[in-house]
Amino acid sequence: MTKSHITPVGVYVTVFLALIALTIATTLISRIELGPFNFVVALTIAVIKASLVVWFFMHVNHSSSLTRLFVFAGLFWLAIMLVFVMSDYVSRTWLPGPRWL
């Protein structure tokens, strides 16, 4: 990673426009009834937007692989927490046992 890297203004503006476009898209799509896919689509668009910010605005495109590893690790750990906690709630009704609800 070199600190002297200067990203052209055009790149930033393009990313900005993409983010705005995705925001408009996600807002409009939310008005359409898609069942469970509303959630999937909205989260997917959010992930894309976040990735654009991380990759371009936060300069991860020019960062060391160590930095990228750290970013990945943070997201992975968040996933551990969400997945394991939800696995409890989702599976409470699968096997007979004391029920909370």
Partner 1 sequence: MSTTLPRPQIEAVNYLNVDYSWKSWLFTTDHKRIALLYLFSITAMFGIGGVFAGLMRLNLLFPDGLFQHDTYNKFFTMHGIVMVFFFLVPSIPATLGNFLIPPMIGARDLAFPRINLLSWYIYIAGAIITIVAILHGGVDTGWTFYAPFSSSYSNTHVILAAIGIFIAGFSSILTGLNFIITVHKMRAPGMTWGRLPLFVWAHYATSLIQVLGTPVIAITLVLLGFERILHAGIFDPNLGGDPVLFQHLFWFYSHPAVYIMILPGMGVVSEIVPCFSRKGAFGYEFIAASSLAIAVLGFLVWGHHLFVAGQSMYASMVFSFLSFFVAVPSAVKVFNWTATMYRGSISFETPMLYAFGFIGLFTIGGLTGLFLATLAIDVHVTDTYFVIAHFHYVMVGGMVLAYLGGVHFWFPKMTGRLYPENLARLAAVIVFVGFNLTFFPQFILGYLGMPRRYATYAAEFHTLNVFSTAGATILGVGYIMPLIYLSWAWFKGPRSPQNPWGAKGLEWEQSPTPPPTYNFDVPPVVTEPAYNYAGEVDDGGH
Partner 2 sequence: MADTNVSAAEHDVGLKHHFDDSGQQYESATLGMWVFLLTEIMFFGGMFGSYTVYRNLYPEAFASTSRFMNLTLGATNTAVLICSSLTMALAVRSARLGAKKKLIFFLVSTLILGIVFLSIKYVEYHEKWVDHHIPGPGFHYDLPQYYHQAQILFFLYFAMTGMHALHMIVGAGLLTTLIVMASRNRFSAQWNTPVDMIGLYWHFVDIVWIFLFPLLYLIGNH
Q: Which residues are at the interface with partner 1 (CB under 8 A)? A: 66, 73-74, 77, 80-81, 84-85, 87-92, 94-95, 97-98, 100
> Is-contact 45 25, C-beta < 8 A?
yes
Binding site for partner 2 (CB under 8 A): 1-7, 9, 12-13, 15-16, 19-20, 23, 26-27, 30-33, 38-39, 42-43, 45-46, 49-50, 53-54, 56-58, 63-64, 66-67, 70-71, 73-75, 77-78, 81-82, 85-86, 89-90, 101
Amino acid at 62: H
> Is-contact 12 61, C-beta < 8 A?
no
CA pair distance 23, 17, nearest whole angstrom? 10
